């Protein structure tokens, strides 16, 4: 398990069969999240976007300390008291214009692995390939 980054991509850009796309669309209509993840970047629980225009963007931010009074479990003891001690500030999408390489992203849904490799040259999407078992 461990930490990872979320990948957000338009399902229509993925090499999926019509029936697989329908499964995903139906899940999203029923408020079931269909999250992809990758371990090919910094694994800081950020969001990696493949835009409809084929750009690679990464959500970047700084952390700010949350006062004890603002935390959700301020009256707790031990580790629970630390919950919510940091929050993201100054969030912004940073286009990765110099990124050239391939990164892998995947999800499991209804006991099925959906895995892909995205190839970028100078920050522009060249292709997304399906990885089969």
Span 3-21, pLDDT tens digits = 999 999 998 899 999 988 8
- The set of residues, in sequence order, having a beta carbon less than 8 Å from that of 122 and lying 6+ positions away, is 97, 98, 99, 100
Give the total number of structural domains in the chain. Answer: 1
How far, in Å, are 45, 73, 88, 98, 128 from residue 59 at the CA level?
10, 27, 11, 16, 21
CA angle 105, 48, 34 (to 5 degrees): 55
Average pLDDT estimate for 68-74: 91
Is the residue at 71 inside a domain? no
Q: What is the pLDDT of residues 84-109, one digit of tens each?
A: 999 999 999 999 999 999 999 999 88
Is the residue at 77 inside a domain? no
Of the candidate ranges 4-8, 35-39, 57-61, 110-114, the one whose mean pLDDT is the lowest: 110-114
Dist. CA 33–CA 46, nearest whole Å: 16
Is the residue at 76 inside a domain? no
Dist. CA 1–CA 16, nearest whole Å: 26
Domain that holds residue 51: 5-61+89-131
pTM: 0.84
Smallest CA-to-CA distance from 97 within 49, 38, 57, 47 is with 57
Is the residue at 14 inside a domain? yes
Average pLDDT estimate for 58-70: 93
Is the residue at 73 inside a domain? no
What local confidence, expressed as pLDDT, does residue 31 receive?
67
Is the residue at 104 inside a domain? yes
Is the residue at 70 inside a domain? no
Is the residue at 99 inside a domain? yes
């Amino acid at each position: 398990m461990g930490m990872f980054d979320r990948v957000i991509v338009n399902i229509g850009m993925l090499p999926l069969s019509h029936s697989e796309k329908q499964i995903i669309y139906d899940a999203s209509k029923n408020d079931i999240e269909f999250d992809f993840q990758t371990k090919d970047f910094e694994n800081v629980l950020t969001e990696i976007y493949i835009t409809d225009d084929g750009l690679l963007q990464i959500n970047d931010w700084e952390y700010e300390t949350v006062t004890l009074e603002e935390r959700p479990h301020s009256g707790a003891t031990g580790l629970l008291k630390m919950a919510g001690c940091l929050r993201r500030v100054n969030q912004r999408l940073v286009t990765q214009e110099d990124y050239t390489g391939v990164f892998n992203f995947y999800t499991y849904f209804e006991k099925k692995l959906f895995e892909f490799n995205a190839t970028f040259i100078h920050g522009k999407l060249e292709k997304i390939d399906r990885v089969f078992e």
